[in-house]
Amino acid sequence: MDLIIGAGISGLSYAAATGNDYQIIEAEDQIGGYCKTIYKDGFVWDYSGHFFHFQHPELRDYVMQRISSDEMLTVQKHTQILYKDRHVDFPFQMNIHQLEQEEFIDCLYDLFAIPEGASSDTFKQMLYAKFGRSIAEKFLIPYNSKLYATDLDRLDVDAMGRFFPYADKEQIVRNFRHPEGKSYNATFLYPKEGCIRIVNSVASHVDMSRVSLGERLISIDPEKHTAVTNKRTVHYDRLVSSMPLPRLLALCGIDYDKGIYTWNKVLVFNLGFDAKGPEKRNCWMYIPESKYVFYRVGFYDNIIGQDRMSLYVEIGFGKDQLVGEIDGLLQRTLDNLHAAGIVTDQKLVAEHHVLMDPAYVHITKQSEVDKKEKMEMLAQKDIYSIGRYGAWKYCSLEDNMHDAFTLAEKIK
């Protein structure tokens, strides 16, 4: 029997694909993990922005088997950066020609003045080496520092993998006259009823009688193949976990260097207003300046097509940083939204918030080496760790599904 820890998209996908007998335990009282959707006063909010840009047609078709075409929106992505009270198209490095003349010249000069053989051993060094001082310091470093809530010199060069919008000098200059408008998710799919609709589509392939909600894992004995929960002791043949890798190691009694595995927390405010705001096109905006508490603001009303402004607002914190009093943070967020011109005279009529902990894992050279070693050790004991947090990587929901299906086929 396969014991699956977690009923998020990874655990459900594995269960849907495996031919083995299985049991899922989930600590929360509902499925979905971070892909839950909240319905409040006519607003549709996810825990945070989850948008689907399928790279694997077979996975898209699998999800769409149980979703009618009129339930799913195909959205043309439009995103900008709020930079010094002006809007610059994303990605910043491809659109420096939209800056004030002096700043544009600074960026262009520094781009072509990058010294040969510039060091790029860390994420921050890579930003300097590929884009020059001005582009790095005007947007890439301040924005990613707010997002990751850490010193970017700690992160691996490839910390964001394919999700980082790389561009060479020729592409940047060519974009001045002929905007490419290309990215890995130029369009995306989004269900009108929120991302839980994707989860429910996958879950429709799962025997829900084998899903136990409100059951929390307490310990694992890798030698005896047993897991103790707050309800029972389970004997398993294989254990498939999507919980954060460090937590899995601790529950298995495996020693590891806690300093290697770090992450940030993200506080998400979902905010509903009584009227449409001034922003009528962007799906989301990036906010690099430190005078604003948030690093990204998304517009559900523009994505779904609603006549009232509906926002998700993301604020990053270090893993050991205290979040503080929520009401005070909400008021500061509202003040900042007004100062940024995102909210004008609209009245807040509905609010929801959630703290995602962990949110983004910090991928470092040390964590990559240790992760490989620990996951090989676990696999020898018939324990497999998958998902964004289980595999300790930067990835999409589609990646989680793909990895779960691949593992299920491997050990079927």
What is the per-residue pLDDT across 62-109, written as a single tens digit (0 to 9) for each?
Answer: 999 999 989 999 999 999 999 998 999 999 999 999 999 999 999 999
This prediction's pTM: 0.94
Average pLDDT over residues 225-252: 98
Question: Looking at the predicted structure, is the pLDDT value of residue 248 above 70?
Answer: yes
Amino acid in position 166: Y
Give 406's Cβ-side CA count (13 Å radius): 11
Q: Which of 28, 9, 34, 32 minimizes the C-alpha distance to 312? A: 34
Provide the token pair at 148.
């990751």
What are the angstrom distances between the C-alpha of 211 and each of 3, 25, 143? 10, 6, 40
3-state class of 277 per DSSP?
coil
3-state class of 147 per DSSP?
helix
Give the pLDDT confidence score for residue 176 in this predicted structure.
Answer: 87
